[in-house]
Amino acid sequence: MTKVAVVFADGCEEVEGLSVVDTLRRLNVECDMVGLTSKKVDGDHHIELTCDKVVDDSLLDYDLVAFPGGMTGSANLRDNEKLRDLMVKRHEAGKWDAAMCAAPRALAKYGVLNDADFTCYPGIEEECKKYDSSAHFSEKITVTDKVHKIVTSRGPATAWAFSYAIAEALDVDTKALKKGMLYNYLADNIQDSL
């Protein structure tokens, strides 16, 4: 069975992480909420999250590990040595990883974005390039680099697109859920509301 972990750190963008958890669970994909240092996480907007577990070596067993953004949350992810070591091992083993908003800077610092196509929150690409000048930035809503097995996205408003891109990278059919959640309706009609 396909398994995904979403790693939550204090200061995370709650909607970015919870959208992934919600979407994947609706698709019957096992998805664990993993706290960086504690099961209790205080999000950037002071929404307290209760995770299933705390980061440990089992992170190596997941088919994909996803990071939500948030400036403080992504800095906590970026600067955690234990998480870095596990993510480098995952990357070396050819596992999928995902990060959105400011969190791609964590992957960049770990060396996981080497030569990869990615996107991120506007301006964060400069920090990513500082760590890894070989990464290729795009302004697309989501970027799935199948060669390097990395999914990235831009920011809070793109959280649903990020969630579906993760599912699709893992070969999960999202068509019925996109229709049921009115995602296609939103995508087709967004211009009319602007």
pLDDT at 130: 94
Tally of domains in the chain: 1
In this prediction the pTM is 0.97
Phi and psi of 18, rounded to 5°?
-70, -30
Q: Which amino acid is at 133?
A: S
pLDDT at 194: 63
pLDDT at 46: 97
Q: Taking the CB of residue 192, how many other CB atoms lie within 10 A of it?
A: 6
Mean pLDDT in runs of 10 for the chain (194 residues)?
Answer: 97 98 98 98 98 98 98 98 98 98 98 96 96 94 98 97 98 97 88 66
46 three-class SS = coil
> How far is residue 66 from each of residues 135, 176, 188, measured CA to CA in Å?
19, 23, 27
pLDDT at 191: 67
- Report which of 62, 96, 52, 59 is spatially closest to residue 77, judged by C-alpha positions: 59
Signed CA dihedral, 7, 8, 13, 18: sign only: positive
Alpha carbon distance 45, 165 (integer Å): 25
Q: What residue numbers bound the domain in which 25 lies?
A: 3-193
Q: What is the CATH number of the domain that holds 114?
A: 3.40.50.880
Residue 13 contacts residue 40 (beta carbons within 8 Å): no
